[in-house]
Structure 1
């Protein structure tokens, strides 16, 4: 049995890997930040994580 503890942020623009224990969960999907979770990461200039594709 394998337990998943990390996943890619559910935002289609984002490259972040998020720990499920720290993720912002929306509709059972994990997001790395509030701006990814509410779909405004592109408008806000990114999620704030280095090397991410949101900006």
Structure 2
């Protein structure tokens, strides 16, 4: 049996976003929904997706 995962939760622990494996930002072997999450919110900005209030 083969299972194909095409969507995952953003690797940012505070983020609630689900992202396409193909469209996500890949950094350090993990998949994030945005550059802000992938950069660990260095400037304090959230991912700006509707309903998500993450800021790292």
Common fold by TM > 0.5: yes
| CA drift at 1:10 | 0.1
Listed as ranges, the gaps of 5+ residues in structure 1 are: none
**SS of structure 2 residue aligned to 1:36:** helix
Per-residue Cα deviation, 1:2-47 (whole angstroms, up to 9, x for no partner): 1001100000110000000000001110000000000017811x10
Paired residues, number: 54
1:1-55 alignment, distance < 5 Å: 1-40=2-41, 43-44=44-45, 46-55=46-55
Root-mean-square deviation (CA, aligned residues, Å) is 1.6
Superposition TM-score, scaled by structure 1 size: 0.88
Listed as ranges, the gaps of 5+ residues in structure 2 are: none
CA distance in 1, matches of 2:41, 2:51: 18
